[in-house]
Structure 1
Amino acid sequence: MARNTMDYPPLNTPKPIATDAWIVDGPIIRFGMPWPKMPFPTRMTLLRLHGGDLFVHSPTPLTAPLRDRIATLGTPRWIVGPNRIHYWWIPEWKAAFPDAGVWLAPRIREQAGARIDFAAHRLDAETGYPWDGAISTLPVAGSFMTEVEFFHHPSRTLVLTDFIENFEPGKLGSGWMRWLTRLGGVQDPNGAMPRDMRRTFARQRPQLRAAVERMLAWEPERIVLAHGRWYERDGTAELRRAFGWLLE
């Protein structure tokens, strides 16, 4: 059987992207309507703060080799679910690192049900977190979900989840997937907020624009995305391009 080319090997391996910043590419998942479900590559971000504390954003599966590698980087201190559909592997990280705090975006508990049956903190404010100072926190609320964005000041890395998706045509295995990602406005090199998600911010358009302007003011050097090719350079320009439909 041919290997799925949508993923970004090596998988389950921390890859340095800047000082004290790593990404971990995970497996392909399928998400969407009952049919057809679209395959999505997954990606976690790790940020290291003073003292070796690790900020774990949108966890991917915790394999034994990955856990061993994590031990050489620092200690997971905060495990973060950044929106209501990015929570699936949080329980196994909490089980492996019971002293770590879990921080959940609004509506994750309702979405996850019994899968998350342990204490967790709410992730719905801009300040008041133990990582304040090194990492800025920006919740952006729409009618479907709140996504919480993060900016790691030391490395000038903006960490998004689903606010930009950027699927590479050469990695898509069929013509309908290339057509669907182009129709949805999420095909590389023109990745952006999916058009169906844009509609969920129709009533919050001024707030969304203010959030994007806040992110632009941070002048990110790079932008990590959960799905598809991320932006290793020219982060501010890519952010402005991706949200040109909103800023015009």
Structure 2
Amino acid sequence: MSAADAVAYLPTDTLKAVADGLWIVDSGPISAMGLHVPVRMTAVQLRSGQVWLHSPTAYSDQLRMELQRLSPIAHLVAPNIAHWQYVKDWQQRCPHATTWAVPGLRSRAPVIKSGVVLDRDLDASPPAAWAGELDQLLIAGGFGVNEIAFFHRASGTLILTDFVENLEPDKLGPVARPLAKLAGATAPDGMAPAHYRFAMNRRRAAVKAAAQQMLAWAPERVIFAHGRWYDSGGTERLRRSLRWLLD
């Protein structure tokens, strides 16, 4: 097994069913804060039949065809300030899809330089395209570190990006393992990494209220971008991951 395979959740870059109308795509590894970590996209088929992609991962023709066998790819979601790098590749192959961005993303210098087109900004309320199916919540931290959380009502699934990370130590190298542990992002009860918590704590009261709303949704499972996601016991495991904010 290659070093990359040891980090990633195999098989990569293919649909994995989670619940009716809900899939994940494991990919990577990618480099984040000096660590090689797995990364994950979430796909939802809306009642309209349209496919909604959260935090698009590396593009491949095979994956696009797999998704389009469900229905046309209509929505590309860049849910926080770090998870947008692959959006342009998907845009070029899915020209009719609308790209949605977390507030503040379009003004960031690397985004402007990349030339990626961000069609519409998200906010605290879901647009008509998925209202009634996906609830959403703006988590607005300091320094422009924002994230949109989504709740898939039909399956009781909370969809996050970096607000929880749960990296498994045995999937990290000898250098990365202690760094991830120091950042507080290791399984079985990983949290948002230290730099993310620092930014969120700049607006702690508002972020705490957002966290309480996520718990009020009572998710059965919690999907996020990096590490072992919570496939059961979602509410209690989420509460544990939010201890830095709630305790």
Check 1:27–1:203 CA distance in 2 against 1; reply closer, same or farther (3 A cut). Answer: closer
Instruction: Provide structure 2 residue ranges, at least 5 long, that are not aligned to the other structure.
Output: none
User: Partner of 2:141 in structure 1?
Assistant: 142
Say how many residue pairs are matched.
243
Instruction: Provide structure 1 residue ranges, at least 5 long, that are not aligned to the other structure.
Output: none
User: Partner of 2:76 in structure 1?
Assistant: 79
1:245 shift after superposition: 2.5
Q: Deviations over 1:212-232 (max 9, x none)?
A: 110111111111110011110
Partners in 1 of 2:233 and 2:203 — Cα distance? Answer: 27
Deviates more, 1:220-229 or 1:107-116: 107-116
User: Partner of 1:133 in structure 2?
Assistant: 132
User: Partner of 1:178 in structure 2?
Assistant: 177
1:118 shift after superposition: 2.8
Out of 37, 42, 47, which is 1:40 matched to?
37
Pairing of 1:11-160 with structure 2 (within 5 A)? 11-32=12-33, 37-109=34-106, 110=108, 111-144=110-143, 145-160=145-160
Q: Secondary structure at the match of 1:202?
A: helix
Percentage identity across paired residues of the two chains:
39
Q: Secondary structure at the match of 2:137?
A: strand
Partners in 2 of 1:26 and 1:84 — Cα distance? Answer: 19
1:129 shift after superposition: 4.1
User: If the length of structure 2 is used for normalisation, what is the TM-score?
Assistant: 0.94
Partners in 1 of 2:208 and 2:188 — Cα distance? Answer: 22
Q: Deviations over 1:30-65 (max 9, x none)?
A: 122xxxx11121110001111311110000122111
Please state if 1:220 is matched with 2:226: no
Partners in 2 of 1:246 and 1:117 — Cα distance? Answer: 34
Partners in 1 of 2:3 and 2:46 — Cα distance? Answer: 36
Partners in 2 of 1:8 and 1:116 — Cα distance? Answer: 31
1:191 shift after superposition: 0.6
User: If the length of structure 1 is used for normalisation, what is the TM-score?
Assistant: 0.93
